[in-house]
Amino acid sequence: MASKPSDATSLFTEPDWTKTHSHRVGLRSRDDRFPGLTHSGDDWRFALEEEAEEKIRELQEKVEKGELLTVRDFLAKQEDFHLRRPEVHPGGWRYVLHTREGFIKTGQAWLVNQRKKEKEEKERKQEGDNDGDGGEKQQDQNQYQSQDQEPQLQAKEEEEEEKTEPSATEKALLHLLRSEEAHMRSLKPSDGKARSPVKGDFVPSEIDEIDQTTPDNWIPRTDHLIRITGKHPLNAEADLTELFEAGFVTPNWLHYVRSHGAVPHLLWENHKLEVSAGKNVTFFMDDLKDQFESINIPVFAACDGNRRKELNMLKRSKGFNWGPGAVGCAYWKGVRLREVLKRAGAKELMKEYDGLRLWVNFQGADYLSEGKYETSIPLEYVMNKRNDVLLAYEMNDTPLPPDHGYPLRLVVPGYVGGRWVKWLEKVWVTDRENDSYYHIWDNRVVPEFVTDKDSELAKTMYRNPSTACMEQQLNSVIVRPAQGEKIDIQDVQNGKQYQLQGFAYNGGGNEVQKVEVSLNGGSSWLYCARRYPDYSLRYGKKFWTWLHWHVDVNLTQLLRAESIRVRCWDVNKNTQPENPTWNLEGMMNNCQYTVKPEITEEKFDKTYLTFRHPCEPGTGEGGWMKPSPQIQAEESQRQASRPGQQFSRNEIEKHSTEDDCWIVINGNVYDATSVMSWHPGGKAPIMAHAGRVHEDTTGEFESIHDDFAHTKLQECILGTVTKKTQDFMKQEAKIKAEKRAKSGGQKSDIALKRHKWTQARFTHKKPLSQDTKRYTFELISKNKKLGLKTGQHIQIGFHFNDQLVFRSYTPVRPVFDEEEDGTFDLVVKTYYPDPGQPGGTMSNILDCLTKGEEVEIKGPAGEIVYEGNGTFKIDEKKMAFERITLVLGGSGVTPGYQVIVRILRSGGKDKTQIRVIDSNKTEDDILMRNELNDLADKYPGQIQITHILSHPSDSWEGEKGLVNEDIIHNYGFAPDERSVALLCGPPAMIQKAVLPALVDWGYDEDKNLFGF
């Protein structure tokens, strides 16, 4: 049920978020935690303690019938195969629990869920009559300013006089031609047995926090790819310079990725390929590898949407903003599809249907919004041995990475990437083209006059076979000079040489016969040298790879150049068009690639020759192309009408559930709750931003959505963020970028990373009580230190189908540097399931781990660091205190325990006074009780510990009840400039009781009151 916005008067008391610290109790932190609060979803007992025994018994019967499943049930049933056969799994493989935490906790008829539903229905009924209308919308028009920055440099080279002797330019060209001829003659034909020259010494092993809330939360990826569509799904390309400098064969981690949805978590051990071509045959992965001959050949792949952004700058297409780097050339190892089809009766089928055109259909295992991904290609093409159509299981001599189709994908040399089906599970032959959604409505080039998909004309054109993208087409790209590259004008005046470089490719295995560049708008052209990879030649004339080209010019020529254009030619003397041709899908753009030089001046009066490519991928704005007047007008109309109501950060953060979901885009606040049911990408991409006050949402939305999505978005607008919230978003984006850059260069001996998940291996556990255990984990790199400072947390994660489920814990060891030995200990209470509730997710997972199994770790989380002698560093600002009041509850005791140990075991050097108020339900719930009591006995003059129980036994002699104002006044230090209060406990306890009591007493949330 959507909650109502708070009173407008709260805007006048809104804090300046740019000046306050990041540990304000109960507000989302940079670590995506709520400081001062333990996780509310793990201890369900408090919600059930008043329920009647009759209802418990009713649900007990359902449990006995197996109708309610807990996380322990799933863990028991699903084996971790990669521990037994690591050689057939990609490096960095992760175990994923094939269910959702949401299903276990809220998707079943637990008693706690029934009670919550009844409460919501009661509230809805009470509030139904009080709902009012919002105010009228106000007009606030902002004109989108255009800047036409095309350079108008015009210069022509003077013609040289005829000479009987070859000129220096002619001599250089002759040398280049002879060198190229020798290279082409030296090309060795590939026999399919070569190995990839790419060394496999680098395999991504860390999971980016960007992916933690998506179904791809289990896939290790690198930062070397530019994400085009935000967090999910992954569509990414390499930086052009890095891609080119990697060489002729692209490393797996640098190869472009195209995905329509979540990557399915498949296993070599049980994956099956179903084949039907007259007979129905099923193959396991080991069957394919053992029963058929494999070949290993280099093949170039390119998305048919490569270079789409150039078209989107003219007019928005239905596709997202690929730059020129959606390409890659790798070694693919697999079996020929023709041999597998022959085993299934394809030869006999072709004889039976002689004279008819037959099609091979393919289906991937990925579940998408419009069904599974399917497509088809002509059977005749597949059955031609010289077309090398493969069922590939390796990429560059290693198992396929998950993003590239593990464990099996289709490789169709010479065809567009849209036909290379990943996660292949079905192959079948028909007498007609595939008619699935993705085959008909994707990977098409329709005429320019088709501007939408809904008209009868559009439907007819999309179903016309001639519009389908099949064979790759002729294309070429300039890599050097790079986007934004600068050349000192002094070097130009000195007459230095410069080498223009790039790559070119073609479809159907046809050779790129010539590459040339123009420096004067196409009036004349310079011949470029071509270089193909080793073993790129198949069957004497087939080229499945790309080529690299280069030509040397004088820098003075570049200074006078109008532009740098490249074009290439095929064996039929066809070449690339001069200008782009827009189409609705934004496919197959292969116009001449143009780089423009300009003179720029920077500080210290330095002058440079700077180069601009047409566009930067995704949302980058550094290219010479600018949005067309039509696009600018559309954007202006969208910004013209915005409601006047404003919302603050703390108001927006309240709306973060599937039933009440607000998002922020371009400073506007939208209620996206109604979008959940029909969003093509599912709920996950929206929920990743629900209630989040950050700029990431804007970048992701703008990178992938078309005019229709913008129109639908306006139907959900509520208002705008306040200026303080807008300033906070800008500041956080800057801080986040700085921290991310800093963490990338952290010390190599530290295991934890703030923005990357790495693995830790479970070794053993020690029972401390009936439901509390001490768990020991070892770092994968044993020579590294954990790197956690006193007061900080580590985040423990486990993979589910829809997201990485994680909780924050504070290790009880190591606390001091000398305790660092490549391991760490956690003390965790297990909240077991019972008939009324499913139990704590993470605590049950930890309790079910067996030796050698792995969890994800990330950190450090938290910006509160205790440095000793009463000094804290909070958001990099040092604060000194003499007295510390710790108000802790349940599992929240562990961060306080770290601070206590650091002070009391300092050998008497740290004189800071400590008072602890530790709240629990029963005596058995008190974590670290023996350790805390030992410290209190040993250091009676420095620490005072008060335990308070809400459900004590008759023999309990300590405080009874709940933490309230009297308890805090009696057992805490009074507020002053030398006293600090630190909190960590259940949300209800901290937010409703402790925080208000401390503020009323005189503690200040910006000065001496913080949440761990």
Evaluate whether 884 touches 871 at the Cβ level (below 8 Å).
no
CB atoms within 10 A of CB 83: 14
Phi/psi at 114 (nearest 5 deg)?
-65, -40
Q: Taking the chain, what is the end-to-end CA distance rounded to the nearest angstrom?
A: 30
Best CA proximity match to 408, nearest among 389, 396, 425, 431: 425
439 is catalytic: no
Question: Which amino acid is present at 594?
Answer: T
3-state helix, strand, coil split of the chain in percent (to 5) is 30, 25, 45
Annotated active-site residue in 99, 250, 810, 885: 810
Residue position matching structure tokens 């486990």: 798
Evaluate whether 102 touches 69 at the Cβ level (below 8 Å).
no
Q: Which residues is 662 bridged to in the sheet?
A: 671
Question: Which amino acid is present at 292?
Answer: F
Annotated active-site residue in 21, 23, 793, 947: 793
Best CA proximity match to 11, nearest among 695, 723, 732: 723
CB atoms within 10 A of CB 690: 22
Q: Which residues contact 690 (CB under 8 A, 6 or more apart)?
A: 655, 656, 657, 658, 661, 662, 663, 672
**CA of residue 691 relative to chain centroid, distance:** 19
Question: Which amino acid is present at 355?
Answer: G
Q: Give one word for 169, left, alpha or beta, with left for phi > 0 and alpha for psi -120 to 50.
A: alpha
793 is catalytic: yes
Evaluate whether 462 touches 584 at the Cβ level (below 8 Å).
no
Evaluate whether 587 touches 540 at the Cβ level (below 8 Å).
no
810 is catalytic: yes
Evaluate whether 827 touches 772 at the Cβ level (below 8 Å).
yes
Best CA proximity match to 697, nearest among 725, 733, 657, 724: 733
Annotated active-site residue in 594, 720, 984, 1003: 984
Q: CA angle 335-337-340, nearest 5°?
A: 90
Q: CA–CA distance from 353 to each of 257, 348, 430, 431 (Å)?
A: 38, 9, 10, 9
Q: How far is the C-alpha of 591 from the C-alpha of 614, rounded, in Å?
A: 12
Q: How far is the C-alpha of 746 from the C-alpha of 753, rounded, in Å?
A: 8
Consecutive H or E run containing 125 = helix 111-127
Best CA proximity match to 244, nearest among 479, 487, 568, 539: 479
415 is catalytic: no
Q: How far is the C-alpha of 762 from the C-alpha of 779, rounded, in Å?
A: 9
For CA atoms 679, 681, 682, 685, the dihedral sign is: negative
Annotated active-site residue in 373, 809, 971, 1003: 809
Task: Supply 3's token pair.
Answer: 């909650």
Three-state DSSP state, 672: coil
Consecutive H or E run containing 809 = strand 804-809
Phi/psi at 873 (nearest 5 deg)?
-115, 115
Q: CA–CA distance from 359 to each of 21, 81, 272 (Å)?
A: 63, 36, 21
Three-state DSSP state, 367: strand
Best CA proximity match to 842, nearest among 858, 824, 823, 855: 855
Burial 371-388 (b: 16+ CB within 10 A, else e): ebbbbbbebebbbeeebb
3-state secondary structure 620-645: CCCCCCCCCHHHHHHHHHHHHEEECC
Q: Which residues contact 956 (CB under 8 A, 6 or more apart)?
A: 923, 949
Number of H helices, E strands in the chain: 28, 47
| Orientation of helix 893-904 relative to helix 929-938, angle to 10° | 30
Active site residues: 793, 809-810, 984
